[in-house]
Amino acid sequence: MKMKATILSLTVAILAASCGTATHTVDEGTVEELRRVFDQTRCGFRMEDLVYAVSRQFPYLVADSLPPDVMPSGVPDSLTKCPVTLEPYGIRFEIDGITVECPSGHGSASIDY
């Protein structure tokens, strides 16, 4: 019985030692890459929300009805700008869909009719 208690105590001690506080260092390049991916993802989600909002509010827009880069009224202001740089998105109404582009280079989102 004493042997089992000793083995159990030793196992608990080893587990406790291995679960101690550990520190990890990350170089600046990795941090910048993670930040870039996070910013691009945030912006991408915002552009998708904008495309969806415009297509839901204006399902029958004709490509010639609005000039390029004019945001239709009724679209929430919170969706019209890049969340990272606060630059306004470019928007194109085409015959077969709507495309939104980020001027900061975070990509684009579109929806087809």
Alpha helix (H) ranges present in 19-85? 28-57
Q: Is the pTM of this model over 0.75?
A: no
Tell me how far apart the alpha carbons of residues 103 and 86 are, in angstroms, rounded to a whole number.
10
Residue 45 in tokens: 């989600």
What is the pLDDT, as a whole number, of residue 57?
A: 74
Residue 80's closest CA among 47, 38, 104, 105?
Answer: 47
What is the pLDDT, as a whole number, of residue 60?
A: 61
Residue 113 in tokens: 């009719």
* Better-predicted residue by pLDDT, 9 or 72: 72
What is the pLDDT, as a whole number, of residue 41?
A: 94
Buried b (16+ CB within 10 A) or exposed e, 91-110: bbbeeeebbbbbeeebeebb
Residue 18 in tokens: 């291995």
pLDDT, tens digit, 9 for 90 and up, residues 45-87: 999 999 998 888 766 665 556 666 677 777 888 899 999 999 9
**Mean pLDDT value across residues 80-103:** 90
> Above 60 in pLDDT, residue 1?
no
**Average pLDDT in the chain:** 80
Tell me how far apart the alpha carbons of residues 93 and 4 are, in angstroms, rounded to a whole number.
75
Residue 106 per-residue DSSP state: S
- Sketch the domain layout of the chain as residue ranges: 32-112
Q: How confident is the model at residue 20 (pLDDT cuts 50, 70, 90)?
A: low
Residue 1's Cβ-count burial label (10 Å; 0-12, 13-18, 19+) is exposed
